[in-house]
Amino acid sequence: MAHEPIELADALSTFDQLWSPRILTQVNDYDVRIAKVAGEHVWHAHDDTDEFFLVLDGELTIALREPSGERSVVLPKGAVFVVPRGTEHKPSSKDGASLLLFEPTGTLSVGDRHDEVPGHVDATTGHALGDR
């Protein structure tokens, strides 16, 4: 990976695929990923890691299944939210959103408990920025 500044708007303009993150750079053992999303993703959980979301544009809703029951959080542009490890969640965006994510390298975007990758996901661990 190049050690040069990366403009987020420029990076986001290089792809159109939804729910298929691009890896901007790495920090220690973590990928810094960007993604475009619209519609619904899948219910999933990450057994061994939290998941960090920053909404760069648009609005994201994350449905959560917690011991106390189901709830949803709505994240407008500029909002940050962390889904705790092991928590089932389902991100969605009615009108579309752009996200920045921090995840351990190799983390699957469909979680650890999925047998089948949905057709709307073309890479479960992200593409290198610039890959189409």
> 45 is written with which tokens?
């959980």
Q: What is the pLDDT along the chain (132 residues), one digit of tens a residue?
A: 667 899 999 999 999 999 999 999 999 999 999 999 999 998 999 999 999 999 999 999 999 999 999 999 999 999 999 999 999 999 999 999 999 999 999 887 766 555 565 565 655 666 677 655
As to burial, measured by CB atoms within 10 angstroms (0-12 exposed, 13-18 middle, 19+ buried), residue 43 is middle
Give the residue among 104, 126, 100 at the shortest CA–CA distance from 21.
126
Instruction: State the Cα–Cα distance between residues 48 and 94, nearest whole angstrom.
Output: 29
Q: Which domains does the chain have, with CATH numbers?
A: 8-106 (2.60.120.10)
What is the pTM assigned to this prediction? Answer: 0.88
Integer Rg of the chain from CA: 14
Which amino acid, one-letter code, is at 24?
L
Instruction: State the Cα–Cα distance between residues 28 and 78, nearest whole angstrom.
Output: 24
Summarize pLDDT for 48-82 with one digit per residue, the tens.
999 999 999 999 999 999 999 999 999 999 999 99
